[in-house]
Amino acid sequence: MVLSSIKAVFWNATDRRLRLPWRFVVAGIVFVVVSLAAAVSLRPVWVSAFVGFQFASFGRLGSLLFRTSFELVIVGLFTYLVGRFIDRRRFSDFGFHLSRTWWLDFGFGLALGATLMTAIFLTELALGWVRVTGFFRTVSGLSFVTVFLTSVLVFVVVGVSEELLVRGYILTNLAEGFRWFPRVSGEVAVAAATLCSSILFGVAHVFNPNATLTSTVVIVLAGVMLASGYLVTGELAIPIGLHVSWNLFQTSVYGFSVSGLRLPVTVIATEQVGPRVFTGGAFGPEAGLVGVGAIVVGTVAIARWVRSREPPLSLSSSVWTPELR
């Protein structure tokens, strides 16, 4: 009896897998192993490609593409291995049931991110909080189109990588784990998982240039917005699309900093001159009240989009009740 009770702390007999805390422990070990293996086996290939395609001449952007692509390989391989052998989930169950609806939602996410950032730009321009200083700026000696398309690739890689890890893997496992408590409903488990994963998302940006407590809080709110698309559809289409275009339009179209970083390419070069509490200052709109407004509007827009297609609006039970392999 005692041994059975002890075993129950570690092992979920119904699901035939480790319980959440221990799955995370094993997952952490797997992540380290996969990272080291990828560094040893793939880094020489990456370096050859980096030099062969002259990414080094792109400066910071080339280095960023190099690093983010490497991270995507690690996250993708990690999620596949842990999902298959620890979580007993198919890779597609982390939000990649690719279908016509999935791609429509992805397109909506792209359009929403572009619209929200355009609204931020126009609002600040109208209020005199941003000044246009030029157009089609890029690294000297390089084609604008080439560098701009490189930035698109960077943000696609970042969007897929971060959404797969934070929303697809972490949020999902937290939601499942919180259901272990008898009195915790699916909705409460999802709310707690969303808050925890969003806080992790915010903390992950703490060491970005010009980060502040305010920027961290606003990015936590952005994490909630990104999570909302996953929670009501069970898919990562909306979060990935929104993540990609939000970042792309923020820095490579309107010249703002994106989470404290500026890329060496932008359609409209700008300088923020308004009050930092509203504009976010050197960190970008993600640290200002205008950004908070966009996040609220974005969350409402996601809810209305999904409700217009599948009324009534409700949370997807697949987030906390997985179809195990």
Residue 160: both structure tokens together = 């897929």
Structural domain boundaries, residue 264: 93-319
* Residue 275 included in any domain: yes
* Residue 208 included in any domain: yes
Helix (H, G, I), strand (E, B) or coil at 131: strand
* Residue 15 included in any domain: no
Integer Cα distance of 159 and 246 in angstroms: 10
Tally the domains of the chain: 1
Integer Cα distance of 91 and 32 in angstroms: 20
* Residue 44 included in any domain: no
Could you list the pLDDT tens digit for every one of the 325 residues in the chain?
A: 666 667 667 777 677 777 778 888 889 999 999 888 887 776 666 666 555 455 554 566 777 888 888 889 999 999 999 998 888 888 999 999 999 999 999 999 999 999 999 999 999 999 999 999 999 988 767 788 988 998 999 999 999 999 999 999 999 999 988 877 767 777 888 999 999 999 999 999 998 888 899 999 999 999 999 999 999 999 999 999 999 999 999 999 999 999 888 888 899 999 989 999 999 988 999 999 999 999 999 999 999 999 998 778 888 878 877 777 6
* Residue 232 included in any domain: yes
Beta strands in 66-183 (DSSP E): 130-138
Omega within 30 of 0 (cis) for the link into 275: no
Per DSSP, the chain holds a count of helices (H) and strands (E) of: 12, 4
* Residue 226 included in any domain: yes
* Residue 131 included in any domain: yes
* Residue 142 included in any domain: yes
Long-range contacts of 246-251, Cβ-Cβ distance < 8 Å, separation of 24 or more: 246/113, 246/116, 246/117, 247/113, 247/155, 247/158, 247/159, 248/113, 248/114, 248/151, 248/152, 248/155, 249/113, 249/114, 249/117, 249/118, 250/117, 250/284, 250/285, 250/286, 251/151, 251/284
Integer Cα distance of 322 and 176 in angstroms: 8
Q: Give me the DSSP letters along 47-63.
A: HHHHHHTTGGGGTHHHH
Residue type, 288: G
The length of the chain in residues reads 325
